[in-house]
Amino acid sequence: MNDITEKQGWHFLAVMALTGLCFIILQSDAGFSAGRLWGVESSTWFWLAVFVAIFHQLFVWAAWRLQLSTKWVTNTFPQSGFAAYLVIFFILIFTRLLFMIFTAISNRGTITIQDGIKWPLVVLFTILVIWLFYSVIRYFGFKRAAGADHFFAEYRKLPLVKEGIFKYTDNGMYIFGFLIFWLIAIFFESKAALLLAGFNHIYIWVHYYCTELPDMKRIYG
């Protein structure tokens, strides 16, 4: 049980702090809640997006730790366990991104970003995100990116990737992958989406320090 829950107290405290801060910010300025999409208020889209993000990262924590400590996933579903995990993992990522887009569209135009700042950032973030996804596909693989080393010993023998964007950082997915959230927020000039981008980018680092890093120490020493 200690292995499964390691650092999750800090995870819980971080989630409480981040959601509390988001609530305070949303209440401080009506611009964060302005707008509707399909009759649903921007604040509702925002909190749905936050809920999906939290659910996604809790799902990954539970799947990784149960598998790493007890091999529960592959023992319970030997033929389909990892495949089912992958399907749920990527559905949640897609849903997370989708609710980000819905929030940004609903709340669009609530902040003005000068074209001289907006479009260079849009172009830069687009290039970095495309480079990251190319690097993942070409050198890393989506299975490994989703945590295959928690499930299969052969992935633990693979060398550290040092090509593409990973030549410059070991944490490319966390640093550059989440720029897509900032890209959406800037493109639609949405206050709520900017706050949501900040939440997502900080929260993925909570996942790294509270879940992935302890797991890597157990897997690789």
The position carrying tokens 């200690």 is: 2
Contacts of 69 (CB under 8 A, 6+ apart): 3, 4
- Summarised one tens digit per residue, pLDDT across range 30-57 is 989 999 999 999 999 999 999 999 999 9
Q: Alpha-carbon distance 102 to 36, whole Å?
A: 9
Task: Supply the pLDDT for residue 44.
Answer: 95
Range from 70-79, 137-146, 181-190 that averages highest in pLDDT: 181-190
Mean pLDDT, range 166-172, rounded to an integer: 84
**Cross-strand bridge partners of residue 37:** 40
pTM of the model: 0.92
221: pLDDT strictly greater than 80 = no
101 pLDDT tier (thresholds 50, 70, 90): very high
Nearest residue to 151 via CA among 82, 70, 56: 82
Q: What is the pairing mode between strands 40-41 and 36-37?
A: antiparallel
